[in-house]
Amino acid sequence: MNKNFGEEKKFNFGFLDENSKREIRRKLLKAAALPGYQVPFASRELPIARGWGTGGLQITMSIIGEDDIIKVIDQGSDDVVNAVNLRNLIARTTGVETTLKTEEATIIQTRHRIPEKNMTSDQILVLQVPYPEPLRRVEPSEEISRQMHAEKDYSLAWLDLYERVVKWGEITIGSQYPVMVNGRYIMSPSPIPRWDIPKLNNADTLYLFGAGREKRIYAVPPYTDVKPLEFEDYHFRVENFDGKRCLFCGSTDSYLDEGYDSESGEKYYVCSDSAYCRERIKNDEEL
């Protein structure tokens, strides 16, 4: 725990007041009890603008305790500006330890990626969500999409997939691929790549999703069925990285970001999960 925290104490532990945290925790419990169901919550003001991770942050601040160890990633990387700012804010307002290593963290807040390394039942993953409503792409009305969830009438969502198959020959959804949770609710897994979706199914870890601007919280508790929508004759497929490997660590089984070398004019690929990449390099060096 950061020993400076006590001297700087101008705000509550975790920035949010206790009543706000209580409201969020209650909503989290409800969300965990109804896997995939979007629970509305009273989203608080934070020293970050809406659209920059306030939903995820509110969840983290409500569940974090003195002994927690926090890791924050954005698109898989600990080093980018947003991840660094969020990590600093959390550390400053709680005094908890921070880490860059996946296996050391008890809470990981993330945007757009799930770590490559299998998370355990002692860890919680908090995902930042821009658009919680998976049906919004086909049904603009909130009232109607809520009714669809209530009546479990998802034919419009399926129709969207069908039309894509007819037009393009496959289900052309890149991110925010709709999944069916616990056989009951269709959920948006947030803009994680398709690569990460299988990690949600029957996992050891608890997944919490927060959308601050849209004021929704939802959850996938451990060992829950999470199935991407697919047809009997057109299946869900993860991204294809055949023939590609990470420039730094040589990995061929992680999600790769594409980069472009303007000098040589060549494309290269790098592990999106920087902690995973660093560890592989370290293991290689040790051998």
Partner 1 sequence: MMRNYKNKILTVKGLSKFFGERCPECIDKTGPEYNTNQCPVCSTIVACADISFDVYEGEILGIVGESGSGKTTISRSLYFEEEASSGEMYLNNYDPALNIFELSLQKKRTLRNKMLGMVYQNPHQGLRLNFTAGGNIAEKILSGGHYHVGKIREKASYLLDRSEISVKRMDDFPKNFSGGMQQRVQIAKAIANDPEIVFMDEVSSGLDVSVQARVLDLIKQLQRDLNMTMLVVSHDLGVIRLLTDRTIVVKNGRIVEKGLTDQILEDPQHEYTQLLVNSLL
Q: Assess 235 for contact with partner 1 (CB under 8 A).
A: no
Per-residue 3-state assignment (H helix, E strand, C coil) for the chain: CCCCCCCCCCCCCCCCCHHHHHHHHHHHHHHHHCCCCCEECCCCCCCCCCCCCHHHHHHHHHHCCCCCEEEEEECCECCCHHHHHHHHHHHHHHCCEECCCHHHCCEEEEECCCCCCCCCCCCEEEEECCCCCCCCCCCCCHHHHHHHHHHCCCHHHHHHHHHHHHHHCCCCCCECCCEEECCCEEECCCCCEHHHHHHHCCCCCEEEEEECCCCEEEEECCCCCEEECCCCCCCCCCCCCCCCCCCCCCCCCCCEEEEEECCCCEEEEEECCHHHHHHHHHHHHHC
Annotation says 169 is catalytic: no
Q: Assess 141 for contact with partner 1 (CB under 8 A).
A: no
d(CA 239, CA 144): 32
Least gap, CB of 156 to partner 1 (angstroms): 7
Name which position in 29, 33, 144, 159 contacts partner 1 (CB under 8 A).
159
Catalytic residue among 14, 36, 56, 210: 36
Q: Assess 287 for contact with partner 1 (CB under 8 A).
A: no
Name which position in 34, 48, 156, 173 contacts partner 1 (CB under 8 A).
156
Annotation says 76 is catalytic: no
Annotation says 36 is catalytic: yes
Minimum CB distance to partner 1 smaller for 42 or for 159: 159
Least gap, CB of 153 to partner 1 (angstroms): 5
Q: Answer whether 50's CB lies under 8 Å from 210's CB.
A: no
What tokens does 254 get?
Answer: 């992680």
Annotation says 249 is catalytic: yes
Q: Assess 11 for contact with partner 1 (CB under 8 A).
A: no
Q: Assess 143 for contact with partner 1 (CB under 8 A).
A: no
Least gap, CB of 150 to partner 1 (angstroms): 6
Select the span of 5-13, 62-70, 146-154, 211-219 touching partner 1 (CB under 8 A).
146-154
Q: Assess 163 for contact with partner 1 (CB under 8 A).
A: yes
Minimum CB distance to partner 1 smaller for 101 or for 235: 235
Minimum CB distance to partner 1 smaller for 183 or for 259: 183
Name which position in 7, 67, 143, 233 contacts partner 1 (CB under 8 A).
233
Annotation says 246 is catalytic: yes
Least gap, CB of 235 to partner 1 (angstroms): 11
Q: Assess 223 for contact with partner 1 (CB under 8 A).
A: no
Just list the catalytic residues: 36, 246, 249, 271, 277
